[in-house]
Structure 1
Amino acid sequence: MPQFKYKGKLKNGLKKEGTISGQTKKQVIEKLRTQGLALASIEQMESTFLNKDISIGNPVKLEDFVMFLRQFSTLLNSGVSLRDATAILAKQTSSKALGRALDQIEDELVTGRAFSDAAAEHKKVFPVIFIHMVRAGEASGALDETLDQLALQFEKQHETRQKVKAALAYPAIVGVVAIAVIIFLLSSVVPTFASMLSDVGGELPGITLFVLGASDVVAQLWWLIILLFVLVGISLWAVVQKPETKYYVDYALLKLPVFGPLLQKAALARMTRTLSSLFSSSVPILQSLQMVERVVGNEVISRSLKQSRDALESGQRLTEPMRKHWVYPPLVVQMISIGEETGSLDQMLTKVAQFYEKEVEYATDKLKALIEPVMIVFLAVIVGTIVISIIVPMFQIYSEV
């Protein structure tokens, strides 16, 4: 959004200057005048590296956003006006990006603009689900309850994500340690014994020749190995950014023998929890499905939801495409079907979300217990192979002496 530098005087005669963002110069002038500022000058700032907001990924941490939702709901429930609550939270939040956005929203509220419309201009800070649910809360007059519901949803989402990350972090850390140990042994330890074995002479075992060859490659081309890992990481990241290729990546991940079921349960928990929150906030079902398609984080489930949305538009039931898709277990389909028939779809989705959130918790604990001994054995085999490749020829030398 363009930024403008301004100077002027307040009604009490004090001079004021600063910067403000807005879509157009005319909009900014009107905004400043409603704040009681007599403008002396205003000019648009050049878009440079120094005044541009730069962020990688989501600029607001999920835990900061949950805290903001809880505090916002509490302030509104206590009778604090929407504008005052926004101003208070703009100063209290520990997230700079969120604080800047709330400052600008407060300026918009002065002009009589709705909070949801002002928040829609900060899509990097406020998720699309937040904007639509707040809009529904404003229309129903129950904004504090909507914010409580949003806080619960994002809390559950954060807890599920942390559990999955914890389960996947252990093998990743052990794998990195294993690679570091292998590189250290091959580049520093093995060459020391290689010169000793070459001086003695004689025929070396095949395993020793293999390890010595690997040691030469690592010692001479270590930089190429690191570069290769970086290039592979960048390539995978680029592939995941495209929906066409992300679908196949997500499909492959869901089909993994051990991690696939965990990722599937986490995605289903997020999908059902989000849909439940949207339905209970009276967001239209087709609009809710479209939003969940964008935020579910799994292209396989996203495309299946689009099929369900198309089915609804053509007069069919929501669960018709789900019954034919492998990603939905019978429990999910049956619960959603019961919700459709009884008119309690939001409640049924909440129960499904609670079930799979528990399943993710059990699955992560089980996965940790399973992976730990496997990774220890893997590391022991790798290091043991290198050690044996050195010890075996040394025993042969001693036996010949």
Structure 2
Amino acid sequence: MAQFSYVARDRQGNKKKGVIQADTKQAVRSILRERGLRALEVEQKKQTIWNQDIYFGQPVKLEDFVIFLRQFSTLIKAGVTIVDATRILTEQTESKALKKTLAQVEVDLREGNSLSSSLNKHPRIFSPLFTNMVYAGEVSGSLEETLEDMADYYEKHNKTRQKVKSAMTYPVVIAVLAIGVTIFLLLSVVPTFVDMFAQFGGEVPGITRFVMGASDWMTSYWYVVVIMIFALFVIFYLLRQRRETKYYLDLMMLRLPVFGKLFRKSLLARMTRTLSSLLSNSVPVLQAITLTEKVIENEVLARVLRESRNTLEQGRSMSEPMLKHWAFPPLVTQMITIGEQTGALDRMLDRIADFYESEVDTATDQLKSLIEPLMIVFLAGIVGVIVMSIMVPMFEIYNNVN
């Protein structure tokens, strides 16, 4: 499919310009006619490295995606066709990536494809979880309710993620600030005093010798620090790509002293919320577990979910592997077992998700109040050591002079 730029006139005679994804110029003219526009110029755009869109991370923000789902659901409830709703949202959305993708989805819809199959062609924007939910909504005839449910799901997921991110942001900022201040003092301030101490001679304290040695090393080999930091990021990224090493990195994350419990609660909230949303929209349980395994983004919990799927295939309870694993508290396993026995698994999972989302809110607030004074003491300690290494010999020089 190629990109075509066009110039057209609407029924009032106003000129309109834009870009459409289509196979041929004739297809572009047909799309414009259906939109009530008369094509004046249609030109295919040449694809070069300069006009290609490059995205880092998620192309569409969760906030923009939630707004899109809310609007889509409202339009369908109001009786607007899926094709027209897609066209309206293409014009209204502020996300460049979403706008471009919806334009392509509109073309596929006009060619007679279903919404789920059209969305499935763009996995970078629409996850398998979302496209499967849309498919379930199409089959059951409740697409607008499904879109509304997905908007609630992504909204809650975004809220939980932002809470965890905000709890992590403060210590990371303080750590970066501490490293920056330390490097500045070692490279700019300490060398000045080193020259002064050399002129006066005499023995300097051990702490001063240590800081002076660190300053000399940093001045001579600062590029080694840069290379090491870059190498650590690359190694970490490569290790995350392999399932085996990713498992141990995820395990280490869950075992962290203070943050491990917070990460575990956040993951359990996401896992149960995802499973609940899929099951309540009539997605088969085995398929729901497979999709949740991909969404969870933690290999430790993903392995348990794979084992749960295997036990279900053998006719046993999905909670069996969870009962044996330390990452799943008794609350989770007991409520899942009750849900299986009573046939209300989706509702039980929904209650577990509500509980752990509330727990994440409380834990992040407590964590921030605890970490703030600790990080201030940490920063003050690093700066204090360097300042002390300078002040102690200065007092000795002053006393000797007097």
TM-score when scaled to structure 1? 0.91
Q: How do 1:133-152 residues align onto structure 2 when only pairs under 5 Å count? A: 133-152=133-152
Count the aligned residue pairs. Answer: 393
Q: Deviations over 1:215-249 (max 9, x none)?
A: 11122222322232122122212222222211110
Once the 2 structures are TM-superposed, how far is the Cα of residue 319 of structure 1 from its aligned partner?
Answer: 0.5
Q: Deviations over 1:238-271 (max 9, x none)?
A: 2222222111100001011101000000000000
Give, as a single letter, the amino acid of the residue that structure 1 aligns with 2:150: L
- Alignment partner, residue 217 of structure 1: 217
Give, as a single letter, the amino acid of the residue that structure 1 aligns with 2:233: G
Q: How do 1:105-124 residues align onto structure 2 when only pairs under 5 Å count? A: 105-124=105-124
- Alignment partner, residue 39 of structure 2: none
Once the 2 structures are TM-superposed, how far is the Cα of residue 5 of structure 1 from its aligned partner?
Answer: 5.8
- Alignment partner, residue 266 of structure 1: 266
Q: How do 1:243-282 residues align onto structure 2 when only pairs under 5 Å count? A: 243-282=243-282
Q: In the alignment, does 2:198 pair up with 1:198?
A: yes
Q: Structure 2 vs 1, CA of residues 188 and 336 (structure 1 numbering), >3 Å: closer, same or farther?
A: same
Check whether the contact 2:160–2:266 (CA below 8 A) recurs between aligned residues.
yes
Q: Deviations over 1:114-144 (max 9, x none)?
A: 1111010011111111101111111111111
- Alignment partner, residue 389 of structure 2: 389
Q: In the alignment, does 2:304 pair up with 1:304?
A: yes
SS at match of 2:297: coil
Whole-Å separation in 1 of the counterparts to 2:109 and 2:161: 34
Q: Structure 2 vs 1, CA of residues 200 and 185 (structure 1 numbering), >3 Å: closer, same or farther?
A: same
Once the 2 structures are TM-superposed, how far is the Cα of residue 74 of structure 1 from its aligned partner?
Answer: 1.1
Whole-Å separation in 2 of the counterparts to 1:125 and 1:374: 40
Q: Deviations over 1:82-124 (max 9, x none)?
A: 1111111111111111111111111222222111110100111
Give, as a single letter, the amino acid of the residue that structure 2 aligns with 1:90: T
Once the 2 structures are TM-superposed, how far is the Cα of residue 381 of structure 1 from its aligned partner?
Answer: 1.1
Check whether the contact 1:5–1:17 (CA below 8 A) recurs between aligned residues.
no
Q: In the alignment, does 2:87 pair up with 1:90?
A: no
Whole-Å separation in 2 of the counterparts to 1:322 and 1:214: 49
Q: Deviations over 1:317-375 (max 9, x none)?
A: 11111111111100000111111111111110010000000111111111111111111
- Alignment partner, residue 327 of structure 2: 327
Q: In the alignment, does 2:57 pair up with 1:63?
A: no
Q: CA RMSD in A?
A: 2.7
Give, as a single letter, the amino acid of the residue that structure 2 aligns with 1:242: R
Q: In the alignment, does 2:355 pair up with 1:352?
A: no
Give, as a single letter, the amino acid of the residue that structure 2 aligns with 1:70: R
Whole-Å separation in 2 of the counterparts to 1:21 and 1:84: 16
Q: Which blocks of at least 5 consecutive residues in structure 1 are unaligned?
A: none
Deviating more after overlay: 320-329 vs 236-245 = 236-245
Segments of 4+ moved more than 4 angstroms = 4-7, 16-22, 28-37, 42-47
Whole-Å separation in 1 of the counterparts to 2:173 and 2:43: 52
Whole-Å separation in 2 of the counterparts to 1:64 and 1:232: 33
- Alignment partner, residue 74 of structure 1: 74
- Alignment partner, residue 314 of structure 1: 314
Q: Structure 2 vs 1, CA of residues 265 and 17 (structure 1 numbering), >3 Å: closer, same or farther?
A: closer
Q: Structure 2 vs 1, CA of residues 189 and 29 (structure 1 numbering), >3 Å: closer, same or farther?
A: closer
Whole-Å separation in 2 of the counterparts to 1:108 and 1:80: 18
Whole-Å separation in 2 of the counterparts to 1:146 and 1:58: 23
Whole-Å separation in 2 of the counterparts to 1:125 and 1:71: 17
Check whether the contact 2:25–2:43 (CA below 8 A) recurs between aligned residues.
no
Whole-Å separation in 2 of the counterparts to 1:238 and 1:44: 39
Give, as a single letter, the amino acid of the residue that structure 2 aligns with 1:3: A
Check whether the contact 2:21–2:107 (CA below 8 A) recurs between aligned residues.
no
Once the 2 structures are TM-superposed, how far is the Cα of residue 54 of structure 1 from its aligned partner?
Answer: 2.2
Q: Deviations over 1:294-337 (max 9, x none)?
A: 11111111111011001111111111111111111000001111
Q: In the alignment, does 2:2 pair up with 1:3?
A: yes
